[in-house]
Structure 1
């Protein structure tokens, strides 16, 4: 582990649990003054928890936070700001109906000396100086936040912090919603901040950004700091290797499916602002993986294939016939099924029974002369509960009473009842335990063995490599690489998912 000779922030033995779940397990590292320090790790590694501790939103169960040589058992939001630690969040946290001037000085308004009156001229002058110095930008004070672009909103956040002479700026996934030109401006700003002696903690999934911007990077895995290295001494692939757990074990089922004819073909599919020129094919009996970071367009592509997003260009073919999936109903008629990531909001009806959820997408099969054939419906529910091993008191149990894994299986059962042929699974195992994951993997294998095609979007790379035949990587709206799963290592995929220094070199 690389030691910081002049650490402005030092964390020692930080532990944090939520209920019975351990989020941080003895994390320790130091951030050197006047440097850009990267913080990386896969989803669930503990990055967000650590940042919330620094922001004073959580209190550590154990360990010490040192700032400028002084120890603190806990920080509060007010104390963190008083110390000079400021946060630039990816969700912007700005009031849309405020003007630029109001947003910049909210809660820190400058007043005319000796009076209660606001000194608007002084605030405008100070804001203009910072905006011009760091961004070469002029934003009218009267402009509403809602009228600004995503990049301009981020500039307002950064300017708010700079007006208070920060010592440390924490950037949390700052480029997730930025286009390339806007990201380039941000990279140049961060280098300027470092030249001015401001310490930056930079959190990103894009390892190319870490390579191009950071002096040092700390890698978190499963709530532990597994390494802190100088970026000049490590490649993106090596950092990716530190991030992943290579022990796959026997979690993934062996499959005997034979690939058949092309079931799904996509050509030239484009959705402005999200993805462009997407070409892909999927055959019967194939599990095709899809992965990409937030902002890559992967999630929007899944929605577009199910008719939830109206594409501008391109077409989709199912079994050689063009599909105009302008709505989920049309997609479902073409036997396309979507199991969404947020199953509780979009995948199941929590206050309906298991039986009612199971037949929700195929009620026409159980209706006679406008009346529901409950005997047939119950038989179908019993069949699918047995096939998927759904654990519930009975078919009449409300879905909200089931575990996350069983709710997910009910969401899949809904489409099995409709006899779907193409399954779009969006993060199918998120929030479920290891036993339920294994059952879902077996179910997916069963689907393709009977001739279906399954497209799986997942940020869990070992999972994708374990269950898929091929993996497509989306990076900022385009498919940048295809991998054959059995011939690929996790760090190879992760390096492509997160970009490379070559792609950022133009940022200067």
Structure 2
């Protein structure tokens, strides 16, 4: 008997059918992946499970008992707990206060804070072997530590089913690995786990079964150990993987960026690199390769100590981000929500943030011209928003990335440094981002694309540089590479002198 089963759920909002006869079955002691594009129905299905939405048709089963719908209180009583993408813990609470909020330990009529602190220490040590001060403030913890507190709070309720909704979005790789170990340990303890993620590599390594949603329907349930990621991707988007990279051939122009002998202690050394106008150049390497540090130096965030950087043949010094921006360099950072956009500002304010001087005359800002520019960018980039005044926080990850790109298009940048541009974006939105990257170089701009997604590099780039332990060890045309060779180069197991294709 499954721990949880959702049968033939239908949910309609006006003319939009968010769920269309969708089903999901989760066994005890298993991790069940749930994947699909934005708009595929994942959020609606989870909100039905949480008791937030009442389905128009279908049924829900827990331990063999049928329900037509849940209330949030029933959900908790039935042992279903949720770990949300957003950390829903008050920053001013201590760890022990957050863990026991709403279920405090009392001594007579008073809350026994010392008992809560002792129990908090015991639980964190028992579940995660983690020494976290119970009086530490939530706001002072890392994203991973906040997530551990959130998971522990859920476990206090002794759940039968745990739902993880995009839990790794705000985590770095080391923290992701810790999270996956925690999820596997909970599975081995007999919990039924639903794991929702855009990161298909996580789904592949973690899940026992995967349900694919598309247009509100469950189109497949597969075993990720015997089904390739390419096939799961095809099921999600209903197109072949090769169609995901809509890159058009562009004639290459003169050198735009030339880097010679660039060095920074403890980061990278003797870097020679070239990007021509009209060219998309890939850059990759494992953690610690120096690739991220190199990108930061090229944007003036962490300047190099030796070497030369030339833009359009002219020697430049990139000692600050202001200098880099003045030279026409743009950066899309990996941590989009913290560094790429201002979430609480509007689409318009974000889009013109780097180019306000274009809309200013005699010290006065022309809001009409600013709005016209933003509307043109919305239409050009196909940003799904209610309008220029919509808050960026309200947009999906893919549309937030488009707004981050709009800022630099408005600035009329010529060299785009893209740091993992498709991280945390659903498959369908990735295709749109890839299309836009291809269009960036059509007017003669250049792109340096740092990515750990090997198919992305091979599908988009003209050439790829590979870094290992601070040095560029290979440079090849993308057409002459495959994923296995690229991974072997990045890991240092396939190191040979590469032919020079660009001089």
Q: TM-score range by the shorter chain?
A: 0.5 to 0.7
Deviations 1:158-217 (A, max 9, x none): 211121111111223333444555444433333332232221222233434333332222
User: How big is the shift at 1:289?
Assistant: 6.9
**Which residue does the alignment assign to 1:63?**
58
Deviations 1:61-108 (A, max 9, x none): 443322222333333332222211111223322112211221110011
* 3-state SS, counterpart of residue 38 of structure 1: strand
- Distance in 2, matches of 1:473 and 1:228, equals 37
**Which residue does the alignment assign to 2:101?**
106
* 3-state SS, counterpart of residue 134 of structure 2: coil
Paired residues of 2:33 and 2:196 also in contact (CA < 8 A): yes
**Which residue does the alignment assign to 1:25?**
20
- Distance in 2, matches of 1:263 and 1:468, equals 16
- Distance in 2, matches of 1:36 and 1:137, equals 23
User: Are 2:232 and 1:261 equivalent residues in the alignment?
Assistant: no
Counterparts in 2 of 1:174 and 1:351: CA distance versus 1, 3 Å: closer
- Distance in 1, matches of 2:195 and 2:349, equals 39
Paired residues of 1:37 and 1:217 also in contact (CA < 8 A): yes
**Which residue does the alignment assign to 1:46?**
41
RMSD: 5.8
**Which residue does the alignment assign to 1:415?**
411
* 3-state SS, counterpart of residue 233 of structure 1: coil
User: Are 2:213 and 1:220 equivalent residues in the alignment?
Assistant: yes
Structure 2 regions of 5+ residues with no counterpart? 381-386, 391-398, 488-503
- Distance in 2, matches of 1:21 and 1:279, equals 53
- Distance in 2, matches of 1:41 and 1:240, equals 9
User: Are 2:32 and 1:12 equivalent residues in the alignment?
Assistant: no
Counterparts in 2 of 1:479 and 1:103: CA distance versus 1, 3 Å: farther
User: Are 2:86 and 1:91 equivalent residues in the alignment?
Assistant: yes
* 3-state SS, counterpart of residue 94 of structure 1: coil
- Distance in 1, matches of 2:474 and 2:54, equals 42
Alignment of 1:273-312 (within 5 A): 281-288=274-281
**Which residue does the alignment assign to 2:188?**
195
Deviations 1:432-472 (A, max 9, x none): x99xx79x959964x63443224579999999988764689
Alignment of 1:439-478 (within 5 A): 445=439, 448-454=441-447, 469=462
- Distance in 2, matches of 1:232 and 1:222, equals 25
**Which residue does the alignment assign to 2:144?**
151
- Distance in 2, matches of 1:302 and 1:342, equals 19
User: How big is the shift at 1:227?
Assistant: 1.8
Counterparts in 2 of 1:337 and 1:10: CA distance versus 1, 3 Å: same
Paired residues of 2:252 and 2:276 also in contact (CA < 8 A): no
Question: Of 36, 39, 53, which aligns to 2:31?
Answer: 36
Paired residues of 2:121 and 2:133 also in contact (CA < 8 A): no
- Distance in 2, matches of 1:72 and 1:304, equals 58
User: How big is the shift at 1:142?
Assistant: 2.2
Higher alpha-carbon deviation: 179-188 or 216-225: 179-188
Alignment of 1:160-175 (within 5 A): 160-175=153-168
Alignment of 1:341-490 (within 5 A): 349=348, 360-362=356-358, 400=389, 414-416=410-412, 420-423=413-416, 445=439, 448-454=441-447, 469=462
* 3-state SS, counterpart of residue 441 of structure 2: helix
- Distance in 2, matches of 1:99 and 1:236, equals 41
* 3-state SS, counterpart of residue 111 of structure 2: coil
Counterparts in 2 of 1:187 and 1:409: CA distance versus 1, 3 Å: closer
Structure 1 regions of 5+ residues with no counterpart? 1-5, 392-397, 497-508
